[in-house]
Chain A
C-alpha cells in the first residue's frame, strides 16, 4: 500500500504530467477547426455559431484578466464588470455619433485599434484610482469595496443620462476597420487584397479575437513566470512573508489590479465594437460573478484551465440554458408529466423553471468547486500544492511535521 501511495504522490507532483501543453494544443487546433466545422455542419450557414464563439472570446479575455487579480495575486475582485463597462463606454464615447446629442455637440470617430488601447488605459487608470487606497486593506474588505464600485459604475452610467442616454444605452457604434485584409472564397468573395476593410462578418471578428487571445495568453504566461508573477504568488500565499522578502506588496498588488482592469477595459472596447451597443444593464453583478465562476471552475491561476472554464460556463449560460425550456417541455410530455408544461397558479411551467436555473447552477458550481476541488478542473500545479499541503494561519510547524511524517 505504502508503495502505491508514494507512487501516487510522485505522479501528482511530477512536472511531466502537466496537462497544460495538451490543453493548449487542443485549444489551438480547436480554434482553427471550429469555423470549418461550423460552416460544414450547417451547410454554409455557420455565421451564427462563429459569432457565438467570438462573443465567448470576450468572456475568455475577461476571465484571463480576472485570473491575474484573483488567481495570481489572490485579491477577490467582485466588481470586475465595472471596468468592463468603463471600457465599453469609452469605446461608445470615442467611436460613434453619440457625442452629437451630448453637451459636447460633436461626434468623435477615433479608429477602433486606437480606442481599444484607450479603453485599456482608461480602465487601468480607474483600477489604479480604486486600488491605490483600498489595496492596503485586508482581502475581504477589498472584495466589498470592489463590489460597491461595481454597483456604483453602472448606476452612474444610468443616471448621467445627458452623456450616456441612460437606460437606453448608446447604439450604432463604429465597426472596426482594418487597413488591409485578404478577401477570399472563405467569405464568399474573389481572392483579392482590400484596403480599409470594414469588419462586419462574424468570421473576421472571430479571427481577430483568436489572434488577440493568443497574444494575451503569451503575455500573461510570460508575466506569470516573471519576477512580478512570482511576487504575486508570494503575496497570495503569505503577504507578511513576501514583504519580509523585499516584495513591495502594495505596489505589486496594485499592478495586478491595474492589469486586471486593463484586460477588462480592453475586452469592454472590443465588446462594444462587436455588439455595436452598450447599455448599463449589461454590466451588473451577474457579469462579475459569471467571470468569477469561470475561473473558479476552470482552475484559479491556470490559464488553460481558465479558458476551458470560460468556454464551459459560456456554453451553459448562453447556449445550454436558453435551449433547455423547449427540451424540458418535450421530455416532460414524453415521460407522461405533460401536466408540468403549462403554467398553473404559482407553477410557471417547467420550461420557465429551467430558464430560471442559472442562479442556482452558478451558486452550486461555486460552492461545490470550493468544497470538493478548490484547485478547479485543470489546476495550476503550484496552486494545487498550496491548497492541499499549504500551511494555514492556524497551523504550527509541529502540525505540519506531524502531517508529513504520518
Chain B
C-alpha cells in the first residue's frame, strides 16, 4: 500500500519535469539524426545498407542475451550479473567442441555437411550453459531469495567473477581465434570490392529469429510458459494456484541461458574471436537493451537488442568506434534515469 503511494509521488515528480525533458531528448535525437543523415548521404546508400545489416546481426546477438536478463528480472527481480558470462561460456564450450565434431577452418567438413555438426554443437553448448545457469540459481540465488536486496545482487557479481575466473584459468587472458567456418559468400551491393551482405549476417539473423519465435511461442502457448508469466506477476498468488515456484524459476534461468549460450556460439562464428571477459561488456550492453525495451518485457528486450545493435553499428560505421561504448552506456544511464520503464514501458517496475 505504502509503496504505491511512494510510486505515485515519483510519477508526479516525473510528470512535472517530463515535458521539458522530452523536448530536450527529442532535440538531441533530432540533431543526431540530421548529422547521421548528412553522413549517410555522402557515403552512399550501399554502405548504409551494409551498416544496417551489420546492425541487425549485432542486434540479434544482443537481443538473445537481453532476453535472459529480462526474463530473470521479470520473475525474481534480480539482475543476473553472471548472465553475460554464461553467454561467453557458450562461446568457450562451442569452441572446445568444434574440433571434436570435425569442424575446423578449411577442414574436410564444409558446405551443407556443416549444418548437422554445427547444430549439434549449438544444442550441446546451449544445454551446457543452461545447466550452469540453473546451478548458479540453485547455489547462489535461491538460498538468498528472502534475504535483503543487496545480498543476492552481490552474489550475482560474485558468480560473474567465478565464471570469468574459470574461463580465465581454462584458456587464459588472450583473444582466442574462433574458426571461420561459415561460407564467406554474400550478396554484393556495389561492385566486386564494394559493400556486401554476407551469408554470415543472414545466418546470424535467421538463427536469432528462429530462437526468439520459439521462445515467444513457448511463453505464450505452453503450460510452463503460463506458469512463468503468473509467477512474474504475483509469486504468492501463483503459488496458491498450485504452481511450483522453484521449478518455474529454475526453468526461467534454464531458458534464458539457452538463448545466451546460443548467442555465445553465434558471436564466435560471426566475429571469429572470443575473450574470457567479453561477457562483461556484452552483458552490460544487452542489459541496456533489456532496459531500453522495458525490463520484464520479452518483446521489448528483442526490440531493444535490435535498436542497440543498430545504434552500435551506425556509430561504428559513421562516427568513431572508440566512442561507441561510451554512447551506449550513456544511453543506458539516460534511459534508466528518464524512462526507467523503457520505451515500450508496459511493465512498470514497482518500488
Q: Which 3 A-B pairs have the closest CB atoms?
A: A366-B158, A360-B165, A363-B161
Q: Which of A254-275 contact B (CB under 8 A)?
A: none
Whether the Cβ atoms of A359 and B161 lie closer than 8 Å is yes
The 14 sampled A-B contact pairs (Cβ below 8 Å) are A140-B79, A143-B79, A145-B333, A145-B336, A151-B281, A151-B329, A155-B325, A285-B280, A353-B169, A356-B168, A359-B164, A362-B158, A366-B155, A367-B159
User: How close is B113's CB to chain A, nearest CB, in angstroms?
Assistant: 27
Check if B183 is an interface residue, CB within 8 A of chain A. no
User: How close is A59's CB to chain B, nearest CB, in angstroms?
Assistant: 18
Check if B241 is an interface residue, CB within 8 A of chain A. no
Whether the Cβ atoms of B330 and A370 lie closer than 8 Å is no
Check if B197 is an interface residue, CB within 8 A of chain A. no
Q: Which of B242-298 contact A (CB under 8 A)?
A: 280-281, 284, 287-288, 291
Whether the Cβ atoms of B153 and A140 lie closer than 8 Å is yes
Check if B218 is an interface residue, CB within 8 A of chain A. no
Enumerate chain A residues within 8 angstroms of B291, measured Cβ to Cβ: 144
Whether the Cβ atoms of B158 and A392 lie closer than 8 Å is no
Give the A interface residue count (CB, 8 A).
Answer: 58
Whether the Cβ atoms of A361 and B333 lie closer than 8 Å is no
Give complex CA distance A241, B149 in Å. Answer: 16
Whether the Cβ atoms of A366 and B154 lie closer than 8 Å is yes
User: How close is A110's CB to chain B, nearest CB, in angstroms?
Assistant: 29
Q: Which of A64-87 contact B (CB under 8 A)?
A: 70, 74, 76, 78
Enumerate chain A residues within 8 angstroms of B284, measured Cβ to Cβ: 144, 147-148, 151
Whether the Cβ atoms of A240 and B10 lie closer than 8 Å is no
Enumerate chain B residues within 8 angstroms of A276, measured Cβ to Cβ: none
Q: Which of A130, A244, A367, A394 is B158 in contact with, Cβ under 8 Å?
A: A367
Interface residues on B, range: 35 or more
Whether the Cβ atoms of A76 and B161 lie closer than 8 Å is no
Residue of B nearest to A249 (CB): B6
Whether the Cβ atoms of B332 and A144 lie closer than 8 Å is yes
Residue of A nearest to B155 (CB): A370
Whether the Cβ atoms of B169 and A360 lie closer than 8 Å is yes
Enumerate chain B residues within 8 angstroms of A292, measured Cβ to Cβ: 154, 157
Enumerate chain A residues within 8 angstroms of B189, measured Cβ to Cβ: none
Give complex CA distance A78, B287 in Å. Answer: 15
Q: Which of A131-139, A201-209, A213-221, A307-315 lies at the binding interface?
A: A131-139
User: How close is B86's CB to chain A, nearest CB, in angstroms?
Assistant: 14
Give complex CA distance A365, B158 in Å. Answer: 8
Residue of B nearest to A352 (CB): B172
User: How close is B219's CB to chain A, nearest CB, in angstroms?
Assistant: 23
Whether the Cβ atoms of B149 and A139 lie closer than 8 Å is yes
Whether the Cβ atoms of A370 and B148 lie closer than 8 Å is no
Check if B147 is an interface residue, CB within 8 A of chain A. yes
Whether the Cβ atoms of A366 and B148 lie closer than 8 Å is no
Chain B interface (Cβ < 8 Å from any Cβ of A): 2-3, 6, 10, 13, 77-79, 139-140, 143-144, 146-155, 157-166, 168-169, 171-173, 236, 280-281, 284, 287-288, 291, 320, 322-323, 325-326, 329-330, 332-333, 336-338, 340, 349, 351
Enumerate chain A residues within 8 angstroms of B6, measured Cβ to Cβ: 239-240, 243
Central interface residue in B10, B236, B280, B336, by most chain A CB within 10 Å = B336
Give complex CA distance A392, B281 in Å. Answer: 33
Apart from the given pairs A134-B337, A366-B155, A367-B140, 20 other A-B contacts in the complex at a CB distance below 8 Å: A130-B333, A134-B333, A137-B340, A138-B349, A139-B150, A140-B79, A141-B349, A145-B333, A148-B333, A151-B281, A243-B6, A348-B172, A360-B168, A360-B169, A363-B160, A363-B161, A366-B158, A367-B158, A370-B151, A386-B148
Whether the Cβ atoms of B280 and A148 lie closer than 8 Å is no
Whether the Cβ atoms of B336 and A144 lie closer than 8 Å is yes
Q: Which of A367-406 contact B (CB under 8 A)?
A: 367, 370-371, 374, 386-387, 390, 392, 394-395
Whether the Cβ atoms of B332 and A148 lie closer than 8 Å is yes
Q: Which of B3, B168, B171, B336 is A359 in contact with, Cβ under 8 Å?
A: B168
Enumerate chain A residues within 8 angstroms of B325, measured Cβ to Cβ: 151, 155
Residue of A nearest to B163 (CB): A363
Give complex CA distance A357, B2 in Å. Answer: 47
Check if A156 is an interface residue, CB within 8 A of chain B. yes
Whether the Cβ atoms of B150 and A363 lie closer than 8 Å is no
Give complex CA distance A234, B276 in Å. Answer: 40
Enumerate chain A residues within 8 angstroms of B326, measured Cβ to Cβ: 152, 155-156, 159
Enumerate chain B residues within 8 angstroms of A365, measured Cβ to Cβ: 158
Give complex CA distance A76, B156 in Å. Answer: 12
